[in-house]
Amino acid sequence: GPGATIGGMCATRCSGSLAVRYGTMRDNVINLQAVLPDGDVVKTGSRARKSAAGYDLTRLIIGSEGTLGVITEVTLRLQKLPSHSVVAMCNFQTVKDAADVAIATMHSGIQVSRVELLDEVQIRAINMANGKSLPEVPTLMFEFIGTEAYALEQTLLVQKIAAEHHGSDFVFVEEPNAKEELWKIRKEALWAGFAMKPDHEAMITDVCVPLSRLAECISVSKQLLDASPLTCLVIAHAGDGNFHTIILFDPTQEEERREAERLNHFMVHTALSMEGTCTGEHGVGTGKMKYLEKELGMESLRTMKRIKAALDPNNIMNPGKLIPPHVCI
């Protein structure tokens, strides 16, 4: 997104809409260089495509959120640009139907590069912000890549899957300007939400569950979100079980802030009860640190604390982040 840097993306182990095909940042870094708390400079690997040499220090640093060192160089895996792509869009009666199509598509083995879900509130925000007249119903967006014939074949297969799950208004485009215009709907989602409530702040949260539990998790969460007095917009990287909620609240009203925190808390515990995670891509930082013990267990947290103590005994690298303060070794 705007303002993202490669080093920051490595530090938070982030990902985005293309992760369903290309993986997260963790999967696209070959090696990196970092300055450790004692001033030593470490390079974590070679440029070989694979290696079994020693501990995987690259993955240790990725996602450490600045608690183990400062990333100074990154060697990235390059991906070939596809020769052709198709962007498709389809409407659904319920968010569960949309999520079920995303699940069925992934389980079918169809090679999609993006599967994005937007709920009816998000579509309403896009209409208000951009003067569009899209049907205000749960919507799926897809991107298919490959040769022209292959991308079109995959598109038609997904169209059939969508029809079996009450999908309607399935459209697809191949012309560059038309594709860009469709993707603007997704790319401008956050700003559309702010335009809906310009005097509000947003609590942006996400969770991730096994793909087979995505429809259930979104449906359960949506029941609470829709019942809340706050405006809540749902966007999902539906191809890998990751969904976000933008919770808009008035920062001058403490009860609205508490309500936003309550909704976030419910989403996290719902995801954890389904063997999911409190965050799919935004990092833990401080806001979700309190959920790590429930998700990972105390032994895992103690192991993290031992690593932190060994590399940063003076606790000078982002103290207070990532590892809950009550963890002892």
The C-alpha atoms of residue 35 and residue 69 are separated, in whole angstroms, by: 5
* pLDDT interval class at 122 (50, 70, 90): very high
* pLDDT interval class at 157 (50, 70, 90): very high
CA atoms within 13 A on the CB side of 263: 32
Q: Higher-confidence residue: 38 or 2?
A: 38
Can you tell me the mean pLDDT for 238-247? 93
At 128, list the tokens.
């208000």
The 3-state DSSP class for residue 91 equals strand
The pLDDT > 90 percentage for the chain reads: 83
Does residue 3 register a pLDDT over 80? no
Q: What is the DSSP string of 198-235?
A: TT-EEEEEEEE--GGGHHHHHHHHHHHHHHSSSEEEEE
Can you tell me the mean pLDDT for 297-302? 96
For the chain, the average pLDDT equals 93
Per-residue pLDDT of 178-212, as tens digits, reads: 999 999 988 889 899 999 999 999 999 999 999 99
Q: Which residue has the tokens 């809409």?
A: 17
CATH 3.30.930.10 fits 6-79, yes or no: no
Per-residue pLDDT of 37-75, as tens digits, reads: 999 999 999 998 888 999 999 999 999 999 999 999 999
Q: Where are the domains of the chain?
A: 6-79, 84-191
Encoded amino acid at 200, one letter: H
Q: Which residue has the tokens 């995670």?
A: 277
Can you tell me the mean pLDDT for 269-285? 91
pTM score: 0.91
Beta-bridge partners for 142: 88, 115
Right CATH for 84-191 from 3.30.1320.10, 3.90.470.20, 3.40.50.300, 3.30.70.2190: 3.30.70.2190
Can you tell me the mean pLDDT for 7-19? 90
The C-alpha atoms of residue 153 and residue 173 are separated, in whole angstroms, by: 13
Does residue 232 register a pLDDT over 80? yes
Does residue 2 register a pLDDT over 80? no
Position 283 scores a pLDDT of 75
Contact of 291 with 309, CB cutoff 8 Å: no
Position 140 scores a pLDDT of 97
The C-alpha atoms of residue 328 and residue 230 are separated, in whole angstroms, by: 38
Give me the helices (H) in 108-213, please: 120-130, 148-164, 176-187, 189-196
* pLDDT interval class at 1 (50, 70, 90): low
**Cβ partners under 8 Å of residue 234, min gap 6:** 95, 117, 118, 119, 121, 122, 218, 221, 222, 225, 243, 244, 245, 246
Q: Which residue has the tokens 């890998």?
A: 240
The C-alpha atoms of residue 271 and residue 229 are separated, in whole angstroms, by: 22
Q: Higher-confidence residue: 51 or 36?
A: 36
Per-residue pLDDT of 104-119, as tens digits, reads: 999 998 889 999 999 9
Position 63 scores a pLDDT of 93
Fold matches, 6-79 and 84-191: no
Largest CA distance in the chain: 60
The 3-state DSSP class for residue 149 equals helix
Contact of 218 with 226, CB cutoff 8 Å: no
Does residue 286 register a pLDDT over 90? no
